[in-house]
């Protein structure tokens, strides 16, 4: 468009060097040549490339941090699940042990009662009442002692704390 206006003005008989558009174009072209000569375009390109590299580095760092956070989250979730499973197995084992001890206590009671029956038939009625109450108390004490020993030896402090909290919750729900 600019060139065509020179051609039109030249065809009209006006020389191009008298046209004001020519004198505006000359310093603009000279300025762009000076910028190119001094390396201004290269400096602008380098600055843009450096900025792009910085952004790329920051994006890679953010991606790496995100992956690291996801790995840590998965690890903590796995550890939590393992702790819950371990606590559940400890509770099951404690119940099983308590049931086994109660069964053993019942077997021991039966043997003791048979021996006493053979030794003293005359005192069966009185001894039977007294033995039953003693055996029940003893079985409860043994079960409690055994459960306490198991809980003291096999549980960590965090497991004990969790069991206490669960017991409080169960007591609250059974009383409420």
Q: State the residue range of the domain holding 95.
A: 77-157
- 14 is a domain residue: yes
Whether residues 87 and 35 share a domain: the answer is no
Distance CA 157, CA 164 (A): 11
Per-residue pLDDT tens digits for 13-43: 678 778 888 888 889 999 888 888 888 778 8
Whether residues 95 and 118 share a domain: the answer is yes
- 93 is a domain residue: yes
Q: What DSSP string describes 20-52? A: HHHHHHHHHHHHHHHHHHTTHHHHHHHHHHHHH
Note the pTM of the prediction, 2 decimals. Answer: 0.35
Whether residues 57 and 81 share a domain: the answer is no
Task: Give me the number of domains the chain comprises.
Answer: 2
Whether residues 82 and 146 share a domain: the answer is yes
* 106 contact partners, CB below 8 Å, separation of at least 6: 139
- Residue 1 is classified by DSSP as -
Whether residues 84 and 34 share a domain: the answer is no
Contact 163, 87 (CB under 8 A): yes
Lowest mean pLDDT segment, chosen from 2-16, 70-84, 93-107: 2-16
pLDDT of residue 73: 92
């Amino acid at each position: 468009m600019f060139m065509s206006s020179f051609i039109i003005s030249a065809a009209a008989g006006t020389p191009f060097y008298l046209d004001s558009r020519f004198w505006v174009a000359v310093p603009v072209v000279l300025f762009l040549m000076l910028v190119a000569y001094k390396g201004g375009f290269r400096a602008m390109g380098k600055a843009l490339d450096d900025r792009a590299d910085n952004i790329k580095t920051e994006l890679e760092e953010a991606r790496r941090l995100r992956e690291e956070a996801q790995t840590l989250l998965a690890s903590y979730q796995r550890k939590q699940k393992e702790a819950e499973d371990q606590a559940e197995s400890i509770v099951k084992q404690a119940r099983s042990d308590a049931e086994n001890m109660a069964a053993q206590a019942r077997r021991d009671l039966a043997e003791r009662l048979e021996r006493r029956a053979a030794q003293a038939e005359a005192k069966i009625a009185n001894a039977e009442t007294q033995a039953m109450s003693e055996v029940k108390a003893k079985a409860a004490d043994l079960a409690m002692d055994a459960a306490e020993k198991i809980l003291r030896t096999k549980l960590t402090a965090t497991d004990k704390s969790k069991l206490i909290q669960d017991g409080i919750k169960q007591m609250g729900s059974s009383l409420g």
